[in-house]
Amino acid sequence: MLNKLLFKNQDKKQLIIAIIGAFMGITFLITSIHYLIRVNEFGEGADILGPNTIIVQKKVSNSSTLGFARTDFSKNEIQKIKDKPFIHDVKPVIANNFDVSFETADPLVPRFRSDVFIQTVDPEFLDVDLTNWDWKEGNDFVPMIMPRDFLVMLNTFMSASGIPQISDDLAMDIKFKFTLSNNSDSEKEWVDARIVGFTNEVASILVPETFMTYGNNKFSDGTEQKITQVMISGEESEFGLVEEMLEKRGLETKNSQMVVGRLKSMVGTLFLVVLGISVIAVFVSGLVLIQYMQLLMTRNSYEVRTLMRMGHHPKKIIRMFFLYFVKIFGVVAGLGLILFFIFKFFLDSMFANGGLYIGTSVTIGSISALLIAYALFAFASYRTATKGIFNEY
């Protein structure tokens, strides 16, 4: 009866417009947050290098070949790159300043030996368990991250030798050995090594910094260590600026790293725009709903006043208005969630067809955004209802 008295015979045009606005806003809010998170996650875990990380070096030109231009980075140059707002961090890639050779040391694998180039990077840029990424003198083996191309080469070699090819996991069980020596070959040392991960982005073998320092201290001929590569991690969705900076400074990187970064920035920006519009839509439609509640209370001021004079408690009437509107918003949020799942079904397959294999599970962020929007609306509804009813008391 109270519902009939307060909510029947109302002009629902404004309510319907607000509901449609809130429905669309909620749908796009959840969708954009979900895909913003998923796109930013894209590429994480695919490589041992952290997300949004690239290795850059200076472009080799004729003048640098002739010795007129430097190909190494000064500390000042590194600091200038680091100072850019879209750069998260910059660290030098340190290379060996001594001779290193690498060979298999496992009875199950045919002997394979090669002179190699090893490098070390700050562990902050690597997606590895740091407890395994450590070495000190006396340890059983040196952990190393291998270029995936090395495994391809090893498998080619195994195949040619009539031995079955090996997987990533099996490769991590093979024993290897480094031979460290000085330029004159007068000093030598052998150290066991194991693969702990693979990378598509680095062409050399990565080792812990402590091992590199140990080798450089013990076997270097004393010449100055030059930094020819630096590792850069950029801020999310700002890869265009990173790319522009690289171009301006005559730096280059592996194209695949740039493509992923560019793609993530582009799609991320697109969803950020949709997110912005969605937030505005939800906010405006929420305001229209609240305004409609105020209008409804004003139109029912006689009924509200009389009910309270009859002995109905103001809190009971507040609860009625509050529940009426949070139920409406709840239905809108539920319908928005259903439409999001329908969108998601089509968008996920569209992304997959386009070669973007993003996570398909629902992100906590998108559901949290829905809950936050609902909680804010519920709070605003309660405050408005309380104020409106007590104005009539």
Tell me whether residue 266 is exposed, middle or buried, using C-beta atoms within 10 angstroms of its C-beta: 0 to 12, 13 to 18, 19 or more: middle
Q: Indicate whether 387 belongs to the interface with other proteins (CB under 8 A).
A: no
**CB 193 within 8 Å of CB 211:** no
Our CB check for other proteins shows the closer of 122 and 303 to be: 303
Residue 101's DSSP bridge partners are 115, 179
Our CB check for other proteins shows the closer of 147 and 314 to be: 314
With a CB cutoff of 8 Å and minimum separation 6, the contacts of 178 are 100, 101, 102, 118, 142, 190, 191, 192, 193
Of 240, 314, 330, 365, the one binding other proteins (CB under 8 A) is 314
Number of residues in contact with other proteins, rule: CB under 8 A? 17
Q: Indicate whether 5 belongs to the interface with other proteins (CB under 8 A).
A: yes
Q: 119 in helix, strand or coil?
A: strand
Provide the mask over 273-312, with x wherever binding to other proteins is found by CB under 8 A and - wherever it is not.
------------------------------x--xxxxxxx
Q: Indicate whether 10 belongs to the interface with other proteins (CB under 8 A).
A: no
With a CB cutoff of 8 Å and minimum separation 6, the contacts of 160 are none
The single-letter DSSP state of residue 128 is S
Q: Indicate whether 3 belongs to the interface with other proteins (CB under 8 A).
A: no
Q: Which stretch binds other proteins (CB under 8 A): 4-12, 37-45, 70-78, 318-326?
A: 4-12
Q: H helices within the chain, ranges in order? A: 2-7, 13-41, 62-65, 75-82, 148-160, 168-171, 209-219, 239-248, 255-299, 301-310, 314-353, 364-392
Distance in Å, CB of 10 to other proteins, minimum? 11
* Distance separating alpha carbons of residues 326 and 275, to the nearest angstrom: 23
Distance in Å, CB of 303 to other proteins, minimum? 6
Our CB check for other proteins shows the closer of 190 and 393 to be: 393
**CB 123 within 8 Å of CB 133:** yes
Of 1, 63, 164, 186, the one binding other proteins (CB under 8 A) is 1
Distance in Å, CB of 393 to other proteins, minimum? 7
Distance in Å, CB of 32 to other proteins, minimum? 44
Distance in Å, CB of 11 to other proteins, minimum? 15
Our CB check for other proteins shows the closer of 258 and 295 to be: 295
Distance in Å, CB of 310 to other proteins, minimum? 5
Distance in Å, CB of 241 to other proteins, minimum? 59
Distance in Å, CB of 4 to other proteins, minimum? 7
* Distance separating alpha carbons of residues 189 and 217, to the nearest angstrom: 13
* Distance separating alpha carbons of residues 295 and 301, to the nearest angstrom: 10
* Distance separating alpha carbons of residues 48 and 391, to the nearest angstrom: 63
Residue 53's DSSP bridge partners are 233
By CB under 8 A, name the binding residues for other proteins.
1-2, 4-5, 8-9, 303, 306-314, 393
